[in-house]
Amino acid sequence: MTGANERGCTWRDEDAWWAMDLGSTNGSWLTPAGGERVRLEPGVHREVGPADELALGAITAFVLVEGLPS
């Protein structure tokens, strides 16, 4: 699955969910469950775990509610 837009964020599913900013204008942010919000660095994959929040730009946010992809 790829998405938000061509410069936003992409996901890949191998043994886990991953997010990577593709050089978006407004940035992509990850807030791990119980942790502090961090900006995703362009080109660097970060693992997204259960209950983590992924924000794309200023408005769109997702929360991973299940564990591994099926």
In the chain, where are the structural domains located?
2-63
Q: 19: which residues sit within 8 A by CB, 6+ positions away?
A: 9, 10, 11, 28, 30, 40, 45, 46, 48, 54
pLDDT, average across residues 50-65: 79
Q: pTM of the entire structure?
A: 0.71
d(Cα 7, Cα 36) in Å, to the nearest integer?
Answer: 24
Q: Which amino acid is at 50?
A: P
What is the rounded average pLDDT for all residues in the chain? 78
- Does the pLDDT of residue 37 top 60, yes or no? yes
pLDDT, average across residues 22-50: 89
Antiparallel, parallel or unpaired: β 2-3 and 60-63: unpaired
The DSSP string of 48-67 is E-TT-EEEETTTEEEE--SS
For the stretch 12-25, pLDDT in tens is 676 778 888 888 88
User: What pLDDT score does 39 carry?
Assistant: 93
